[in-house]
A and B are shown apart, each in its own frame.
Chain A
Amino acid sequence: MSTGNMNLTLKIWRQKNNKAKGGLVDYKISEVSPDMSFLEMFDVLNEDLVAKGEEPVVFDHDCREGICGACSMFINGRPHGPKEGITTCQLHMRSFKDGDTIVVEPWRAKAFPVIKDLMVDRTAFDRIIASGGFISVNTGNAQDANNLPIPKVQADSAFEAAACIGCGACVATCKNASAMLFVSAKISQLAQLPQGQPERYRRVQSMVAQMDAEGFGNCTNTGACEAECPKGISLENIARMNRDFYSAKFVSEESI
């Protein structure tokens, strides 16, 4: 057994459904081990709640290794908690100490309505990708992969933008609930690759239009998104997106 000796107070946002009014509810939890992950601590809490005949706390989670982007808790005022460069599922209880009070809320943004408790609806992100976050190449159209050499620096930079996991921490932390870091990461990935050139200006216009239609706010260059991104997606991507957007409007022959 590795039950530990930490005793904590949790203040968790409970909300029955999208229509209901939510609020913070206090829970005491004891014998927390520092080796537990934050979500494993929630598992223990939920087991207790089920045993007591109460409804467990609903939250999104799946891979529990920081790559699927499902987990999404706003912990003590920060998306994914106090540590940098990790998701909620990678946060371990050794980052807290005995006696702490921890406040846990869902992502808050108009474009991410709450479904239940800590679970929100992030399908807006899928619709933004569907509006242009791709290269239009049907299966079977491809040439030999090495016929198109790509400088390593460029490929690496595209990869860094492509590392986005679509968790929405950038939106949650932004005072304007802007999705620009997410949108610009996809635009940057494809804009830096030769395969992405034919649709480059069309893509940036469609994706930005969809982003606006979803009700995300604008960017005022605060940089909270970059600071809180679990994958270190750079603010430079937003600059690149803006450049491409203006180019598209002023220079590109194709406007949509």
Chain B
Amino acid sequence: MAELNAHIPEGELTDKWTKLRSSMPLVNPANKRSIEIIVVGSGLAGASAAATLAEMGYKVKCFCFQDSPRRAHSIAAQGGINAAKNYQNDGDSTYRLFYDTIKGGDYRAREANVHRLAEVSANIIDQCVAQGVPLAREYGGLLDNRSFGGTQVQRTFYAAGQTGQQLLLGAYSALERQVGMGKVEMFTRHEMLEVVVVEGKARGIIARNLLTGELERHSGHAVLLCSGGYGNVFYLSTNAMGSNVTAAWKAHKKGAFFGNPCYTQIHPTCIPVSGDHQSKLTLMSESLRNDGRIWVPKKKDDPRKASEIPEDERDYYLERRYPAFGNLVPRDVASRAAKERCDAGYGVGNSKLAVYLDFKANTERYGRIEASKHNIHNPDKETCMRLGREVIKEKYGNLFDMYAQITGEDPYELPMRIYPAVHYTMGGLWVDYNLMTTVPGLYALGEANFSDHGANRLGASALMQGLADGYFVIPYTIGAYLSKELATKPIPQDHPAFVEAEASAKGILDKFLSIKGTKSVDHFHKKLGKIMWEKCGMARNEKGLKEGIAEIQQLRKEFWSDLRVPGTADEMNPELEKAGRVADFIELGELMCMDALNRNESCGGHFREEYQTEEGEALRDDENYAYVAAWEYKGDVTFELHKEELKFENIKVAQRSYK
């Protein structure tokens, strides 16, 4: 059994990172030139890590399945990025960001990691601005901030509703600069299909060139997986169509433990499903909750249009239930509250699986302020709405346009209809404080690891974590490992481990093509998604999870006997790519259900119906479940549980309250 040691440095919480950073073994510049690092994924974590490591002098190879690193799914993040700058003079601090994140994660994250994240958060903003990332500014020329859920300070930096795009393009530019200088070799349209482990250490990967179908061997002294989250296990999610778990799952099967797989974030504000043809769901940024008020009719099955329902017949249920945080409660709380109202028969729209997100009150309020700026006294309602709409448009214009495109409705006139959807996965490969998995030399960064968000991620924290890991953590921590690898010569690619890994990847591809069954990959993916959403979604229970496991096992059998993949393996073949991803999702889905079944408590995004307070809030069991569930792959889709106990020495563990 591999040892589960988180390698958290000794000392006071506030000194751990500084001390470690100053005492970390270094690799001298001459030696860096002969050390090769493989980076899988080119999103915020991957691009920032690849660029920074190349700047430091390492030889880097970076891989992405998209046609350009700029298209990694970080690009779609909308709302913002947190940093403890306290520019707003509202009492923010490193400690407060640390505290909010631990509490937001429902006390299921590691204190030391989260504190480090809060410490480096401010450096990220500095770095991005230096790269020319055009974050939003005020008229004085200084950076603007807005509020996000689960906090009472304004610490979120943003670029309209395109923060992820701007941050990723910053990291992409830094990466391409290194590509231009010949320090990073970029492999686009390549998908990692195997990790190569030589004498217990990660020494390379097998990647498929998606253009030619050729399997390629790439060796390195260390391998970094920055391959994102696995929300697409639910088929419908806000993830991009190509987002997948394959890189992480192959690593898992080669010995990397999988941490907290059941922790899934269901985002409260997404555009509802419109029909069976739906291929993905679209998020409406959490930032909208700054100015939008969420409500349902007070009357059950109310057939009236939103505009016909008078103010006193509307139930602003978040403001009613959580007066202190109101519409800005954390995502898990907001999502469950929406589900509760819809299940109770108060949902709106044709499907009745939606609630309203209404901007009218704040549009009018902004309009009144604008009118007063323009010396218009006692403005009429129409003037207020007209002026207010301009303000709303500047803040959220692109989001409103997206909504109008998808639904065919004008959100400036009608309230948005929203419903929760799968968005982010807090679980991921288990890593220690240095971001190393249980396989020496194999690291996981960003959403691909499990480390910082506990059982629920706060809004605007994913961008922060991805960039923290890539720009400011791995460049230091990887030195501790590589400084001991100086004597390691370039890894020969004809080593039996490479031959075996390539044969295994080829065997799986050949198998897909040889089944010649009757059902498409999407058929199985949709079925899996339905099982996962119903049995392991927003609310889970023992019976459902057991049924889910049995159904997934059955689905796996059908998949491997009735799959149809057209075309061949030696050409561009998207169906073949999807087959590999869905095969891995099916195995992961089973593990997620097992993990959810094992965790006999509710925490954050993991809500077990058997464990709730009288008011329907998540009820943790700190005595028995204050641990990270790290699963080891034991072959043939079986798993063994290991536990990393979570110790809270700096925060008093309490029941979360946002009332």
* A224 in the interface (beta carbon within 8 A): no
Contact residues in B for A92 (Cβ distance below 8 Å)? 405-406, 408
Measured between beta carbons, the chain B residues less than 8 angstroms from A190 are 132
Complex contacts, B566 vs chain A, CB 8 Å: 49-50, 53-56
- State the interface size on chain B (CB cutoff 8 A): 80
Q: Mark B137-173, 1 if CB is under 8 A from A, else 0.
A: 1111111000000000000000110100110010011
Seen from chain B, the residues whose Cβ lies within 8 Å of a Cβ on chain A are 48, 51-52, 55, 66-71, 73, 75-76, 85, 87, 123, 125-143, 159-160, 162, 165-166, 169, 172-174, 176-177, 179-180, 186, 188, 211, 240-242, 274-280, 282-283, 401-402, 405-406, 408, 471-472, 475, 520, 522, 564, 566-567, 571-572, 574-575
Residues on A with C-beta less than 8 A from B176 are 126, 129-130, 133-134
Query: Please, which residues of chain A bring their CB within 8 A of the CB of B241?
Result: 61-64
Contact in complex: B75, A129 (CB < 8 Å): no
Chain B residues contacting A195 (CB-CB under 8 Å) are 129-132
A129 to B173, CA, bound (A): 7
Known: A1-B275, A146-B143. 11 other contacts (CB 8 A): A70-B67, A92-B405, A130-B180, A139-B174, A139-B472, A140-B123, A141-B130, A142-B129, A155-B141, A165-B165, A196-B132
Q: Which residues in A have some Cβ–Cβ distance to B below 8 Å?
A: 1-3, 17, 33-37, 39-41, 43-44, 47, 49-51, 53-56, 58, 60-70, 85-86, 90, 92, 94, 115-116, 119, 121-123, 125-126, 129-146, 148-152, 155-156, 158-159, 162-163, 165-166, 189-190, 193, 195-196
> How close is B658's CB to chain A, nearest CB, in angstroms?
29
Contact A2 B277 (CB under 8 A): yes
Partner of B277, one of A44, A62, A134, A149: A44
Contact at B405–A90, with CB atoms within 8 Å?
Answer: yes
Of the candidates A133, A138, A155, which one forms a contact with B173 in the assembled complex, judged by CB atoms under 8 Å apart?
A133
Contacts of A145 in B (CB 8 A): 85, 125-126, 128-130, 135, 143
- Given A65-B282, A136-B177, the answer on whether A152 and B71 have CB atoms closer than 8 Å is no
A125 contacts across to B, CB distance below 8 A = 68
Residues of B within 8 A of A155 (CB): 134-137, 141
Q: Which of A94, A137, A196 is the one whose CB lies under 8 Å from B408?
A: A94
Inside 8 A of A152's CB, which chain B residues have their CB? 137-139, 141
Chain A positions within 8 Å of B571 at CB level: 17, 116
Given A94-B408, A158-B134, answer yes or no on A142-B127 (Cβ-Cβ < 8 Å).
yes
A90 touches B277 (CB 8 A): no
A125 to B172, CA, bound (A): 12
Chain B residues positioned under 8 Å from A43 (CB to CB): 277, 279, 522
* In contact, A47 and B520 (Cβ under 8 angstroms): yes
A and B contact pairs by CB, cutoff 8 A, 10 listed = A40-B278, A63-B71, A64-B282, A67-B76, A69-B71, A123-B188, A131-B180, A134-B132, A139-B48, A162-B159
Q: Are B143 and A126 in contact (CB under 8 A)?
A: no
CB contacts between A and B, total, < 8 Å: 229
Q: How far is the CA of A70 from the CA of B71 in the complex (A)?
A: 7
Cα–Cα distance between A51 and B563 once the two chains are bound (Å): 11
CB-CB nearest in chain B for A91: B405
By a CB distance below 8 angstroms, the chain B residues around A54 are: 566
Q: What CA separation (Å) do A152 and B169 show in the bound complex?
A: 20
Contact between chains at B179 and A139 (CB < 8 Å): no
A3 engages B66 (CB within 8 Å) = no
Give the nearest-CB partner of A53 in chain B: B566
A33, B567: Cβ atoms under 8 Å? no
Please indicate the chain B residues that have their CB under 8 angstroms from the CB of A163 in the complex. Answer: 162, 165
B125 adjacent to A64 (CB under 8 Å): no
Among B87, B123, B174, B279, find the residue whose CB has the most chain A CB atoms closer than 10 A.
B279
Residues of B within 8 A of A17 (CB): 571-572
Given known contacts A64-B240, A90-B402, A130-B180, is B520 in contact with A162 (CB within 8 Å)?
Answer: no
**How far apart sit A53 and B242, CA to CA, in the bound complex (Å)?**
23
Q: How far apart sit A151 and B137, CA to CA, in the bound complex (Å)?
A: 8
Query: What 5 pairs between A and B have smallest CB-CB spacing?
Result: A2-B275, A149-B141, A130-B180, A134-B173, A142-B130
Q: Known contacts A142-B127, A159-B134, A195-B130; decide if A51 and B55 are in contact (CB<8 Å).
A: no
Contacting pair B130 A85 (CB below 8 A):
no
User: Would A116 and B67 count as touching, CB distance under 8 A?
Assistant: no
- With both chains docked as a complex, state the minimum distance between the C-beta of A146 and any C-beta of chain B, in angstroms: 5
Contact indicator A68/B141 (Cβ below 8 Å): no
Q: In this complex, what residue of B is CB-closest to A62?
A: B240
Min CB–CB distance B313 → chain A (angstroms): 29
Closest CB in chain A relative to B425 CB, distance in Å: 17
In the complex, the answer to whether A3 meets B277 with C-beta atoms within 8 Å is yes
Residues of chain A within 8 A of B405, CB atoms compared: 66, 86, 90, 92
Bound-complex Cα distance A26 to B587 (A): 39
CB distance from A151 to the nearest CB of B (A): 5
A51 to B475, CA, bound (A): 49
Closest to A210 in B: B180
Complex Cα distance A60/B65, Å?
11
Provide the residues of chain A in CB contact with B401, threshold 8 Å: 85
B178: min CB distance to chain A, Å: 9
B66 touches A62 (CB 8 A): yes
CB-defined contacts of A123 to chain B, threshold 8 Å: 67-68, 188
Cβ contacts under 8 Å, A40 to chain B:
277-279
**CB distance B67 to A121 under 8 Å?**
yes
B219 nearest CB across to chain A (Å): 24
- Contact across chains for A159 and B52 when beta carbons are under 8 A apart: no
* Residues of A close to B134: CB separation below 8 A: 155-156, 158-159, 162, 189, 193
- In the complex, what residues of A have CB within 8 A of residue B85's CB? 145-146
Q: Contact between A62 and B242 (Cβ–Cβ < 8 Å)?
A: yes
